Amino acid sequence: MASNVILKNVNKVYPNGFHAVYDFNIDIEKGEFIVLAGPSGCGKSTTLRMVAGLEEISSGDLVINGKKVNNVAPKDRDIAMVFQNYALYAHMTVYHNMAFSLTIRKVDPVEIHARVMKAAEILGLIPYLNRKPKQLSGGQRQRVALGRAIVRDPVVFLLDEPLSNLDAKLRGSMRKELMQLHERLNSTFIYVTHDQIEALTLASRIVVMKDGYVQQIATPKEMFDNPENLFVAGFIGTPPMNFLHGSIDNNGEYFIHESSGLKFKLTDHQQDIIGSYIGKEVIMATRPEYVFIDDLHLKQNSENVFEFNIDYTEYLGAYHLLYGAIGEENIISKVYTRQEIVDKKIKACFDMNNVHFFDIETTKRIR
Ligand code: ATP
């Protein structure tokens, strides 16, 4: 499929000299749902605003549908943007809010009516067309903001934290609606969020950024299973990954955990790739989902059992989170059991097939 949006070595340096985005590169295919994720200040909104034309691109190329658009005005870029604060016109009805951008573009009124009605139908807004924004709920307002973008029939939808003003429950249902909307429109979406649940559930590919640098671009599954570096490993997934400091033994067979002195046996694959780290310090990382306490796993992973000192547990209905330590390092285990966990010291194990090792200097995953 042809690339729909290309960013090539895109940089942003603000007039005060602050370098907010470094060498951003991505090829986005038509119909992709790209989520830009990362902590506050990492440069995701700046990137989106450069695509929208609301911020000048300091260097690099932005190509939309085969045409370089660095110097094309926002209104001529074939994009539509949805903001966090909806930015609806308070004095206009829902209908006129949606029609407005087409009216100022002097689109034929018959065409405007058809497009507004179609968008209203897709978004379930037909009963509210004569209401003003203040007579709507937060979710309905967000839908009107989406409707304003849909009527434009843009090549690319740009969404900047569109759900962050909604309460948790509504966010959940709007996530589902956004997914369905994207499927129905089959347009390209670029979506900014700092919420990694939104990133995992919505994206066809996630871009994780930190301090203006892209850390990894991957599908949600790839990013969850194979994070490129320690930052991504800690950012994607709740609760976050467990990190253990230690070193590889001189035979390249075991990870020796520093603070407990315990040894964990590397898989054959890990022994193959660990070559240059023999005898060196590394970080071992594993998700809470792969720290087990049940008999079956303890038996299957008998070489990798340890004493888990539990500080406290959280009961979350279908599962428990166990917070504790191995040696002096804190770890979390997510266990699917309905039994109450009362012991403060229990046997636990790592499934080494689901463990990664990271270089302590570069923070990159060893592979
Ligand atoms: P948030 O989630 O808080 O919106 P973000 O990842 O979207 O964060 P940006 O808004 O892209 O972050 O900002 C990236 C960096 O650029 C921040 O450090 C911010 O302070 C800085 N920045 C943003 N706008 C300007 C500006 N006009 N001049 C100088 N620096 C700016």
Q: From the CA of 20, how far away is ligand 1's center (Å)?
A: 7
Q: How far apart (Å, rounded) are the C-alpha atoms in residues 275 and 248?
A: 10
Burial of 260 (0-12, 13-18, 19+ CB in 10 A): middle
Sheet with 213-218, strands from edge to edge, namely 79-82, 156-160, 188-193, 33-37, 205-210, 213-218
pLDDT one-digit tens code per residue, 13-40: 999 999 999 999 999 999 999 999 999 9
Question: Which of 272, 264, 263 lies closest to 290 in space, CA to CA?
Answer: 264
| CA-proximal residue: ligand 1, atom 10 (nearest) | 45
- Residue 138: predicted pLDDT: 86
- pLDDT above 70 covers a percentage of the chain that reads 99
User: Which protein residues are within 6 Å of ligand 1, measured from CB?
Assistant: 14, 16, 18, 20, 38, 40-46, 194
Q: How far apart (Å, rounded) are the C-alpha atoms in residues 18 and 4?
A: 29
List of long-range contacts for 363-367, beta carbons under 8 Å, 24+ apart: 363/229, 363/230, 363/231, 364/228, 364/229, 365/226, 365/227, 365/228, 365/229, 365/233, 366/273, 366/274, 366/277, 366/282, 367/226, 367/273
**Atom in ligand 1 nearest the alpha carbon of residue 48:** 11
Substitution candidate for ligand 1 out of 13, 16, 18 with most atoms within 8 A of CB: 18
Give the type of residue at 191.
Y
| pLDDT, mean of residues 153-177 | 86
Report CA-CA distances (Å) from 332 to 105, 227, 289.
56, 18, 9
Summary mean pLDDT of the chain: 93
Substitution candidate for ligand 1 out of 24, 44, 85, 161 with most atoms within 8 A of CB: 44
CB within 8 Å of 15: residues ≥ 6 apart: none
| CA-proximal residue: ligand 1, atom 21 (nearest) | 20
Is pTM beyond 0.85? Reply is: yes
**Atom in ligand 1 nearest the alpha carbon of residue 36:** 6
Q: From the CA of 54, how far away is ligand 1's center (Å)?
A: 13
Q: From the CA of 43, how far away is ligand 1's center (Å)?
A: 6
- Residue 3: predicted pLDDT: 67
| pLDDT, mean of residues 3-16 | 95
- Residue 2: predicted pLDDT: 62
Q: From the CA of 19, how far away is ligand 1's center (Å)?
A: 10
pLDDT one-digit tens code per residue, 310-363: 999 998 888 999 999 999 999 999 998 877 777 789 999 999 999 999 999 999
Question: What is the chain's alpha carbon radius of gyration, rounded to the nearest angstrom?
Answer: 25
**Atom in ligand 1 nearest the alpha carbon of residue 49:** 11
Q: From the CA of 79, how far away is ligand 1's center (Å)?
A: 21
Q: From the CA of 71, how far away is ligand 1's center (Å)?
A: 22
pLDDT one-digit tens code per residue, 108-143: 999 999 999 999 998 889 999 999 999 998 888 988
Sheet with 345-350, strands from edge to edge, namely 291-292, 345-350, 305-315, 320-326, 329-335
Are the C-beta atoms of 210 and 43 separated by less than 8 Å?
no
Residue 67: strand, helix, or coil: strand
pLDDT one-digit tens code per residue, 194-234: 888 899 999 999 999 999 999 999 999 999 999 999 999 99
The three-point CA angle 63-212-60 to 5° equals 30
Tokens 């969404």 belong to which residue?
159
Are the C-beta atoms of 306 and 349 separated by less than 8 Å?
yes
Cis, bond preceding 239 (omega within 30 deg of 0): yes
Substitution candidate for ligand 1 out of 14, 194, 208, 214 with most atoms within 8 A of CB: 14
pLDDT one-digit tens code per residue, 225-276: 999 999 999 999 989 999 999 999 999 999 999 999 999 999 999 999 998 9
| CA-proximal residue: ligand 1, atom 29 (nearest) | 14
Q: How far apart (Å, rounded) are the C-alpha atoms in residues 171 and 125?
A: 18
| pLDDT, mean of residues 152-172 | 86
pLDDT one-digit tens code per residue, 88-98: 999 999 999 99
Q: From the CA of 214, how far away is ligand 1's center (Å)?
A: 15
| CA-proximal residue: ligand 1, atom 2 (nearest) | 40
| CA-proximal residue: ligand 1, atom 5 (nearest) | 41
